């Protein structure tokens, strides 16, 4: 038996044996994302590229969870773990069947290139909805749980997670291939790197580099960033973003040819190339730009991951996962639960939940009313059934539902030969004929997403401002003029300023295949909304720093000075939950939580720490959270651990240490700021901590 088949040896030993059995040409071929078979060694072809951001993506039917930003809005690590588990179980089920049929195509492997843990620092960034928001702590907690769910806890990885995009990456999309992110040492350590460190130390098997450079070093060949990975004990494989190594010579202009780019990447620790540049590795070898050990070293890393996934084992514990788990009833039920917990109630003048005894006719109006695309987000799979907002309301409401599309998502007309605003009068009539109007507005992945995505209309997927498209602003204004009650449901993956104020606002994100059912259950009070904003909603993009400025000054809730519309952590329920009697001891916060309202609800208790030392962030930082269920009148004592790292701060040289001696700890269902207290109607409780 070949040594690499000996399952009693370590993955490192097996990978070295397997690599050393190859020729240098064969080793180099294994570093392409579309690695060919090496038949003489019994190594099948393998495509490294697979996606699972919020459900297994791009390879047919799969469970479609809410987009990542919506999952983050749940503020629940346990649910994040389950989400990752569902992705990986379905990936294994499909992998088992695909390989049995000889199908080793793209999007059918076990290396899942998720999660995206970039910091959503600017609301104009089109890919922000792929992330877990703007806060390093929330991002790390969500990311670690998702990684554990993807990978499992056994000897064999169920799938291999990949933390991306390393690092300092959050737009603009249209210049990302040659963009140099200039960032100081404090912001690096304080904001951009912590989540990556946490995920690497939690065992994430993969790390993907970004397109951009960081302080002059392309991310996929950055000595500075690669040294960080070594310091953190990274023991997996590093993969370039797709065609990012090609950017070295095409856009960054730091190399002059593909062989030079391939050499720079592999010598700095990029093991696998998503793209075509590593087809030049042998030419780089011939030109003396690299040596055989450079290729061998990366091949060992790549084979080690494949071995950890059990690809060369006689049997793994996952081989018998049946195809029937794909989009099964249990997974669809979980999708619904996530959608219900992710939607954020931003405003409610008392109109919600709707009283069916007082309403006979409901108008459902707007371009996202009956849209499947607005349920999906990007990096998505295909659900076997979708429930749009319109369908969910129709299924749930026993009275009459009048539907009017109202307008195009962003164009000034729906019919090419018609006049501008051709569906506006229909929408107004529907509103006039109804007791209440539910306007389903917002964006979808054709408007905000990744540069190069098919259909993105504006700024390569980035947003130009924070307003609704003009067609929708006109629609909202005209429906509001009817004087009938209006509820706005906004599907978007980012900060939106509705401007015109309706009676209630629900931010639904891109809520997955069961989004319409979840919305209807919230509207009619079957469940209480309980999502929280994982990012700040701003008043205006014009008041933000320029998009290309990566300084954290006046960005995100930790540094914000003004311009806040709805704060990070904000979100209403149908009840009222208060926090009292906060105590702290030995890194544990204990707080009494009571539902003083008259409805059962879930709520998220949030802990924030204010460091009064000179190196602290200007405001305060999230340091713990816990989701819980409370019946009307019920009271619980909640214990939430606070990591020791929460008491550290970062000086201007990027050194992290405990500099402060005096801290204020806050507990509440929102941030401890005046605007959050005004919106949510409750105050945080606090206690002082001296170290």
CB of 47 within 8 A of CB of 496? no
pLDDT, tens digit (0-9, with 9 covering 90-100), for 324-347: 999 999 999 999 999 999 999 999
pLDDT-derived band of residue 455, with 50, 70 and 90 as boundaries? low
State CA 276 to chain mean position distance: 27
Q: pLDDT at residue 458 above 70? A: no
State CA 424 to chain mean position distance: 35
pLDDT, tens digit (0-9, with 9 covering 90-100), for 641-678: 999 999 999 999 999 999 999 999 999 999 999 999 99
Q: pLDDT at residue 294 above 90? A: yes
Name 261's Cβ contacts closer than 8 Å, sequence gap at least 6: 245, 246, 248, 249, 255, 277, 280
pLDDT-derived band of residue 404, with 50, 70 and 90 as boundaries? very high
pLDDT-derived band of residue 1, with 50, 70 and 90 as boundaries? low
Dihedral, 683, 527, 490, 575 alpha carbons, nearest 10? -20
pTM of the model: 0.98
Q: What are the Cα distances from residue 141, in Å, to 81, 138, 494?
A: 10, 5, 20
**Phi, then psi, of 404 in degrees rounded to 5:** -145, 125
pLDDT, tens digit (0-9, with 9 covering 90-100), for 49-108: 999 999 999 999 999 999 999 999 999 999 999 999 999 999 999 999 999 999 999 999
**Per-residue confidence (pLDDT) for residue 453, from 0 to 100:** 73
Catalytic (active site) residue 241: yes
Q: pLDDT at residue 317 above 80? A: yes
Q: 135, 187, 241, 503: which one is catalytic?
A: 241
Name 324's Cβ contacts closer than 8 Å, sequence gap at least 6: 93
Q: pLDDT at residue 543 above 90? A: yes
Structure tokens, 116:
């995206």
**Per-residue confidence (pLDDT) for residue 203, from 0 to 100:** 98
Question: Average pLDDT of the chain?
Answer: 97
What integer is the mean pLDDT of 290-302? 98
Q: For the chain, give me the number of helices (H) and strands (E)?
A: 20, 25
Q: CA 240 to CA 252: how far, in whole Å?
A: 15
% of the chain surpassing 90 pLDDT: 97
Name 419's Cβ contacts closer than 8 Å, sequence gap at least 6: 413
Token pair 């209403």: residue: 572
Q: pLDDT at residue 167 above 70? A: yes
The DSSP symbol for 469 reads P
CB of 82 within 8 A of CB of 149? yes
Q: CA 381 to CA 114: how far, in whole Å?
A: 14
Q: pLDDT at residue 457 above 80? A: no
CB of 40 within 8 A of CB of 26? no
State how beta strands 217-218 and 213-214 pair: antiparallel
pLDDT-derived band of residue 2, with 50, 70 and 90 as boundaries? confident
Find, among 557, 594, 591, the residue nearest to 682 by Cα: 594
What integer is the mean pLDDT of 12-38? 97
Q: CA 416 to CA 617: how far, in whole Å?
A: 52
pLDDT-derived band of residue 454, with 50, 70 and 90 as boundaries? low
Provide the sign of the torsion angle of the four alpha carbons 302, 305, 309, 311, taken in this order. positive
Q: pLDDT at residue 412 above 80? A: yes
3-class DSSP state of 580: strand
Structure tokens, 247:
């950017």
Q: Where are the alpha helices (DSSP H) in 481-542?
A: 515-523
**Per-residue confidence (pLDDT) for residue 472, from 0 to 100:** 98
**Phi, then psi, of 243 in degrees rounded to 5:** 70, 15
The DSSP symbol for 51 reads B
CB of 99 within 8 A of CB of 423? no
Q: pLDDT at residue 459 above 80? A: no
What integer is the mean pLDDT of 290-308? 98
Name 449's Cβ contacts closer than 8 Å, sequence gap at least 6: 126, 127, 378, 456, 461
What integer is the mean pLDDT of 295-309? 98
**Per-residue confidence (pLDDT) for residue 586, from 0 to 100:** 94
């Amino acid at each position: 038996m070949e040594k690499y088949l000996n399952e009693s040896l370590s993955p490192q030993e097996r990978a070295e044996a397997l690599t050393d059995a190859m020729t240098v040409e064969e080793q180099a071929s294994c570093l392409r994302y579309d690695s060919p078979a090496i038949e003489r060694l019994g190594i099948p072809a393998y495509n490294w590229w697979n996606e699972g951001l919020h459900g297994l993506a791009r390879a047919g039917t799969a469970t479609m969870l809410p987009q990542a930003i919506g999952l983050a809005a749940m503020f629940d690590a346990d649910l994040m773990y389950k989400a990752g588990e569902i992705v990986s179980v379905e990936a294994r089920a499909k992998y088992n069947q695909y390989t049995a049929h000889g199908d080793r195509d793209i999007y059918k492997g076990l290396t899942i290139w998720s999660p995206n843990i970039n910091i959503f620092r600017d609301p104009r960034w089109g890919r922000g909805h792929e992330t877990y928001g703007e806060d390093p702590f929330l991002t790390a907690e969500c990311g670690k749980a998702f990684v554990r769910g993807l990978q499992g806890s056994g000897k064999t990885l169920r799938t291999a997670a990949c933390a991306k995009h390393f690092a300092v990456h959050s737009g603009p999309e249209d210049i990302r291939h040659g963009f140099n992110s200039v960032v100081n040492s404090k912001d690096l350590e304080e904001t951009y790197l912590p989540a990556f460190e946490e995920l690497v130390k939690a065992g994430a098997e993969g790390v993907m580099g970004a397109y951009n450079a960081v302080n002059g070093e392309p991310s996929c060949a950055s000595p500075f960033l690669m040294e960080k990975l070594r310091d953190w004990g990274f023991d997996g494989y590093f993969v370039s973003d797709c065609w990012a190594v090609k950017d070295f010579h095409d856009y960054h202009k730091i190399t002059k040819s593909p062989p030079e780019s391939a050499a720079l990447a592999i010598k700095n620790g990029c093991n696998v190339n998503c793209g075509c540049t590593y087809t030049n590795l042998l030419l780089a070898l011939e030109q003396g730009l690299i040596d055989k050990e450079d290729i061998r070293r990366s091949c060992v890393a790549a084979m080690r991951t494949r071995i950890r996934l059990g690809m060369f084992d006689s049997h793994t514990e996952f081989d018998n996962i049946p195809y029937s788990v794909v989009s099964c009833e249990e997974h669809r039920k979980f999708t619904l639960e996530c959608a219900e917990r992710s939607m954020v109630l931003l405003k409610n003048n008392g109109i919600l939940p709707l009283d069916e005894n007082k309403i006979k006719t409901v108008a459902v109006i707007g371009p996202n009313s009956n849209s499947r695309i607005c349920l999906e987000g990007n990096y998505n799979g295909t659900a076997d059934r979708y429930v749009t907002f319109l369908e969910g309301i129709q299924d749930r409401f026993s009275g009459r539902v009048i539907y009017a599309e109202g307008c195009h998502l962003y164009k000034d007309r729906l019919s090419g030969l018609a006049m501008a605003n051709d569906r506006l009068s229909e929408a107004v009539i529907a509103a006039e004929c109804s007791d209440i109007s539910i306007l389903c507005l917002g964006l979808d992945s054709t408007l905000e997403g990744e540069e190069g995505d098919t259909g993105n209309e504006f700024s390569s997927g980035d947003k130009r401002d924070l307003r609704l498209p003009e067609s929708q602003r006109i629609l909202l204004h005209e429906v509001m003029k009817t004087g009938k009650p209006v509820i706005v449901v906004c599907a978007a993956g980012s900060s939106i300023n509705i401007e015109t104020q309706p009676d209630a606002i629900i931010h639904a994100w891109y809520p997955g295949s069961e989004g319409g059912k979840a919305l209807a259950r919230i509207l009619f009070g079957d469940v209480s909304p309980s999502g929280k904003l994982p990012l700040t909603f701003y008043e205006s993009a014009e008041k933000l720093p320029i998009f290309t400025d990566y300084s954290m000054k006046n960005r995100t809730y930790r540094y914000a000075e003004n311009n806040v519309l709805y704060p990070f952590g904000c979100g209403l329920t149908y009840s009222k939950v208060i926090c009292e009697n906060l105590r702290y001891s030995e890194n544990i916060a204990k707080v009494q939580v009571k539902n003083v309202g008259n409805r059962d609800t879930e709520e998220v208790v949030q802990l924030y720490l204010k460091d009064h030392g000179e190196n602290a962030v200007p405001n305060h930082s999230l340091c713990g959270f816990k989701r819980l269920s409370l019946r009307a009148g019920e009271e619980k004592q909640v214990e939430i651990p606070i990591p020791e790292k929460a008491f550290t701060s970062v000086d201007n040289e990027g050194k992290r240490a405990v500099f402060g001696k005096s801290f204020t700890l806050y507990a509440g269902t929102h941030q401890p700021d005046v605007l959050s207290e005004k919106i949510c109607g409750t105050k945080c409780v606090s206690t002082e901590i001296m170290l």
